[in-house]
Structure formats: structure tokens, C-alpha cells
Amino acid sequence: MIVACHPSLSFAFKGVPEMKPLHNRPGWHSSRQGRMPSRIEGRSIRSTSSLQFDCMQWLEVDPGTWAMCERPLRLRCRFGEAWRSHVPDLLIGREAGLECIDLAYECNAGLPETEVRWQVIGTALTAIGIGYRVLTERHIRRQPLRGNVATVFRARHARVTRKAAEAAAALVGAVPALSAHELMEQSGLDANQVWFLVRQGLLAVDLEAAPLGPATRVSLRLDPGQRFGMGAMACRFGS
């Protein structure tokens, strides 16, 4: 049962009270807390741990992610004889629909009592049409994924004019499976500028296949007229 939701999700959960924003709280293994400017959502998204921050960076540039929200819902779930509250770490929008994500370190994720908790939460979310999965550092920080995400974010301060970005998008749209090297040769952009356009959500690359480099295949992430964010998800799924 959902008892509260993030303000950006009010379109999907009409009549459900909005959650009040919380200040970041230090926790075990939390070494990086703060906010990540999100191009997907058009606002800053809060992280409460280094693991969540790394996960948000990955999802921000993952071609399959259309929307993302931190601390999205407060659930009331029955654990044995007791009712308890739970707030998932993230909610994302993908082509198939909405999915909640909880983050855990490997040393805790497989404990018997923790696995029972995941099952209860997953059942509650599935009952209302929301997918659920638990991710650990083994998935989020595996290579080459983590290294590629870091490469994209290191290029976030590169400068690309609107005209150059539009020209690059036209080239990529006209030639399927264009390599980064070919794009750079034909557009005059350097590697940092290409990865910058990935960070901006204009271009997409496979973050898991191999380390980013000249041979990396580049595609368009957005078709004309499409947009990101929870508002876009509302339009796509008719909520």
C-alpha cells in the first residue's frame, strides 16, 4: 500500500499525500552525498550514498532510462505480524513501464532476513503494476560499465554549439552504426565533445560492451519530439 509519494509522481498517484523532502543523512559506507543535476528530470536529484550516486550516474546516461526519481514512494508492507514502512531508493521509467530499485551492498543483500524483506516489497510493488529489483555494487560498479559512465561524466564541461550538436545528430541519424571515430572525422568534434553529447542525452552508446573509444558505435538517444522525465512518462503511459 502506497501512503505517500514524491511530488514529481503526483500524476501517477492522484490523491496520495506528497512526501516531504528529507535532508541527506550519513549512513554506513556513505562517502559521497549530495545532488546530481539530472538532464532526464530537469532538476537536481538527491543521493544519500556513494553507491546511490554511482547508480544515478549510470541510469542518467543509460539509453533505456526515460525517467528517474529518488525516494519515490513510501510503502506500508506486512512483514510477518507487523506492518512497516519502506521507501525504495529509486524509481525509473523504461519502455516497459515503471520500476523501483533498492540498493544494497553484497555483504548485506544476501542475508536471509534481507532476502525475505526484498520478496515482501517486490510482491507489494508488483501488485500495483510496478517492477522491482535490488542492485548491489557488483552490478553498478562492474567494468567496463563504471569506467564508461565515468568517462561520459568527465566530459560534462566540454563545449558544443547548438549547430554542431544538430549536425552531429543528423550524421548519426543518417548512418546506422556510425563509429565515434567516423563521427569525429565527419563533424569535427573531438572525443570529449562526443561523450558530452551522450551526457546531454542527445546521443547513446553501449556502456557495457567495451571501454569507450574510437570504435564505439553511436546512435541517437532521442527522436525528434520525444522528451525525458516523469512528465514524459505520464504521456507515454496515459497516467
**163 plus 132 within the same structural domain:** no
**128 plus 35 within the same structural domain:** yes
The type of residue at 155 is A
pLDDT of residue 231: 56
pLDDT of residue 198: 96
**199 plus 127 within the same structural domain:** no
**94 plus 123 within the same structural domain:** yes
Instruction: Name 93's Cβ contacts closer than 8 Å, sequence gap at least 6.
Output: 65, 66, 67, 68, 99, 230, 232, 233, 236
pLDDT at 22 over 90: no
Lowest average pLDDT, out of 6-10, 18-22, 62-66, 177-181, goes to 18-22
Tens digit of each residue's pLDDT (9 = 90 or more) over 58-113: 999 999 999 999 999 999 998 888 899 999 999 999 988 899 999 999 999 989 99
Residue 238 lies in a domain: no
Looking up cell 538517444 gives 221
Residue 7 and residue 22: Cα distance in Å, rounded?
13
pLDDT at 136 over 60: yes
pLDDT at 187 over 70: yes
Cell of 39: 538532464
Residue 227 lies in a domain: no
Helix 180-187 to helix 191-199 angle (10° resolution) is 110
Instruction: Name 55's Cβ contacts closer than 8 Å, sequence gap at least 6.
Output: 89, 90, 101, 103, 135, 140
Residue 237 lies in a domain: no
By C-alpha distance, which of 167, 147, 92, 153 is closest to 125?
A: 92
Residue 200 and residue 171: Cα distance in Å, rounded?
17
pLDDT at 181 over 80: yes
Of the three residues 141, 176, 205, the one that is the final residue of a domain is: 141
Return the exposure string of 62-101: e unless at least 16 CB atoms fall within 10 Å of the residue's CB, then b: bbebbbbbbbbbbbebeeeeeeeebbbbbbbbeeeebbbb
**96 plus 127 within the same structural domain:** yes
3-state secondary structure of 110: coil
CATH number of domain containing 90: 3.40.1350.10
pTM assigned to the model: 0.88
Tens digit of each residue's pLDDT (9 = 90 or more) over 194-214: 999 999 999 999 999 999 999
Residue 44 lies in a domain: yes
pLDDT-based confidence at 12, cuts 50/70/90? confident
**76 plus 174 within the same structural domain:** no
pLDDT of residue 228: 61
Residue 233 lies in a domain: no
pLDDT at 28 over 60: no
67: DSSP letter: E
Overall number of domains in the chain:
2
Residue 187 lies in a domain: yes
Domain that holds residue 53: 2-18+28-141
Ramachandran angles phi, psi of 54, nearest 5°? -65, -40
Sheet containing 217-220: give its strands across: 178-179, 217-220, 203-205
pLDDT of residue 9: 87
**86 plus 179 within the same structural domain:** no
